[in-house]
Amino acid sequence: MSELVTYQVEGSIALITINRADRLNALNEDVIVGLQAAWQRFEQSDERVAVLHAAGERAFSVGADVKDPPREMWQGVPSVGATVSKPVIVAVHGWCIGGAYCIVQMCDLVVASENTVFKYPEAQLGFTGGLIASAVARIPHKVAMEFMMLGEDFDAERAEATGMVNKVVPAGEELQAAMAWAEILAGSAPLVLETVKRFSLETMNRSPAEAGAVSREQLLKVRNSEDGKEGGKAFAEKRKPEFHGR
């Protein structure tokens, strides 16, 4: 896991932190790969709920690092770049821009500081990865189109009113509030939570970019598996491969 993303265990809670405050938690390759590794670790762990937050006071994340962009932004998004069947809560503060919002919208619950500002300026900058289009399945269509197309700021109050976040709390209290909800989920029935989450994801429409990313993640898992490596090695050595389903 990247040193820019830390993973701490507090009881049955996984606390995942983006730790690049000096660059306003901009998403570079190390951060995205670190997030993907964190989601994979969480899925395979005994922890029952994850809380995602970010270091520093000014920004949850200003999105992709324009000087050092990640190769595959989608790999750091929960339930896209890695299977995440358990609940994820995100505590957001300050600026949350572009690809960072794509990460937030794929979390199950969102607690926002009152100083949070969401922004998606890609239409004004001339590029997009397309994952943002899944917003139309998560907030009202007209609100999603406004957010995606105009690039205007959505403050915490507007975000709560439109369903982008669940709860707004005073500045500096977002992590505490998220951990309080995590404690409730950690003491709840895991099978019920996983079933409700799975059914919800299966009910919700996916954008073409999201569906494509999920498919690519699954195909990469096969390619990078022990069996995938064994197949190529056996072919080169002109022998019958020995597959073990992993």
- 224 pLDDT higher than 70: no
Stretch among 41-45, 60-64, 210-214 having the lowest mean pLDDT:
210-214
- 106 pLDDT higher than 70: yes
Instruction: Note the pLDDT of residue 9.
Output: 98
Instruction: Note the pLDDT of residue 236.
Output: 77
Instruction: Note the pLDDT of residue 237.
Output: 74
Q: Are 67 and 30 in contact (CB under 8 A)?
A: no
More reliable by pLDDT, 124 or 220: 124
- pLDDT confidence tier of residue 244, bands split at 50, 70 and 90: confident
Q: What is the pLDDT of residues 131-157, one digit of tens each?
A: 899 999 999 999 999 999 999 999 999
Q: Are 136 and 143 in contact (CB under 8 A)?
A: no
Q: Where are the domains of the chain?
A: 5-206
Residues 1-9 have a mean pLDDT of 89
- pLDDT confidence tier of residue 29, bands split at 50, 70 and 90: very high
- 171 pLDDT higher than 70: yes
As a whole number, the mean pLDDT across the chain is 92
- pLDDT confidence tier of residue 220, bands split at 50, 70 and 90: low
**pLDDT more than 70, % of the chain:** 91
Residues 193-222 have a mean pLDDT of 78
Give CA torsion, residues 110, 194, 137, 101, to 10 deg: 40
- 207 pLDDT higher than 90: no
Instruction: Note the pLDDT of residue 10.
Output: 97
Instruction: Note the pLDDT of residue 146.
Output: 97
Please provide the CATH number assigned to the domain covering 5-206.
3.90.226.10
DSSP per-residue codes, the chain: --TTEEEEEETTEEEEEE--GGGTT-B-HHHHHHHHHHHHHHHHSS--EEEEEESSSSEEE-SB-TTS--S-GGGGSBTTTB---S-EEEEE-BEEETHHHHHHHTSSEEEEETT-EEE--HHHHT---SGGGGGGGTS-HHHHHHHHHH---EEHHHHHHTTS-SEEE-TT-HHHHHHHHHHHHHTS-HHHHHHHHHHHHHHS---HHHHHHHHHHHHHHHHTSHHHHHHHHHHHHTS-------
